[in-house]
Copies of this chain bind each other. A is one copy, B any other.
């Protein structure tokens, strides 16, 4: 049995609650504190709030500093998508000498949008001897880490296209609203202009790929268009009429001169047909990878966050990315380790090999 990992849970929205439920299933994990600023949640027991059906003896508090003072190995942080909105929260965790894994999309690869802030986060984490990481399925996995994993089997990479098509019909109401389902095209445009409708993270994925493959892009461009319903779509929660907005079509492009080197497309709308994830690399060899149906975003994000905890706790102090950490799956085995990282044959029982015709 490995050492117990003490977790403070920061932010109990839908994603945060899903992560907390997964943490409860993992051996050697103990949630020792929970933070949320929503008055409706403060004072409740985390276990009941996340629907685990039992109390955990952990009361939601809005007093960050007093919770952080209880001490922990890692804060699981799930409050907001934009790094500038959460930087003070992150510094408070780091300054309390607690490592952080966050679902903040812009933290997944913050070096281009926030070069100075990235540097300050890195220095603060090093000073506190802790590590900080942004993690999730997109950005963090489908359009960046997975792309780089595939690129490691290529001799040459010329172009990269990744496409994620999500049918929001079967997803939770906040997601349907977040992508503008049911709005008029004008309302949609207004909310895009105000920054209210936007998936965060595509440029971060492009930057991670470009730096890693030394693609020397000159510009990253992003556009947001509405997906317009051409027939009525009914979900459990709302109805979209023909001509109304069904959701979002967002595209980010990485350019070098007049050549488009990387294109990432994200379509999330109710009634999207053939939902799937796809990655195409043009190079040597060409490579085409497809996930029919697509990855379930909420489930995968919770998995990626929890699976990253062990390597994060073993990482060098500082601002880390999913690209830097070894691939991992949380087993709870050994001293906070996910894999027997050092390939220690003695630690794994030898599995008898039979057959093979030889």
Contacts and interface: CB of A to CB of B under 8 A. Distances in A.
A302 interface: yes
Contact of A348 (B112, B295, B352): B112
Interface in A209-256: 210-214, 216-224, 254
Contact of A293 (B195, B288, B292): B288
Given A112-B348, A291-B289, A155 B303 contact: yes
A22 interface: yes
A118 interface: yes
Nearest to A136: B153
Contacts of A346: 115, 119
Interface bracket on A? 35 or more
Contact of A198 (B154, B218, B358): B358
A192 B152 contact: no
A356 interface: yes
B355 A343 contact: no
A339 interface: yes
Interface stretch (A59-67, A163-171, A318-326): A318-326
A157 interface: yes
Given A321-B343, A342-B318, A351 B302 contact: no
Interface of A: 22, 25, 110-113, 115, 118-119, 122, 137, 141, 145-146, 148-149, 151-157, 192-195, 197-198, 203, 206-207, 210-214, 216-224, 254, 284-285, 287-293, 295-296, 299-300, 302-304, 306-308, 316, 318-321, 323-329, 331, 333, 338-346, 348-358
30 contacts: A111-B343, A111-B345, A111-B348, A112-B345, A112-B350, A115-B350, A118-B345, A122-B345, A149-B327, A153-B295, A154-B303, A155-B299, A210-B351, A211-B348, A213-B331, A217-B351, A218-B351, A219-B352, A220-B351, A221-B354, A222-B354, A223-B356, A223-B357, A285-B299, A288-B291, A288-B293, A290-B291, A319-B343, A326-B326, A327-B327
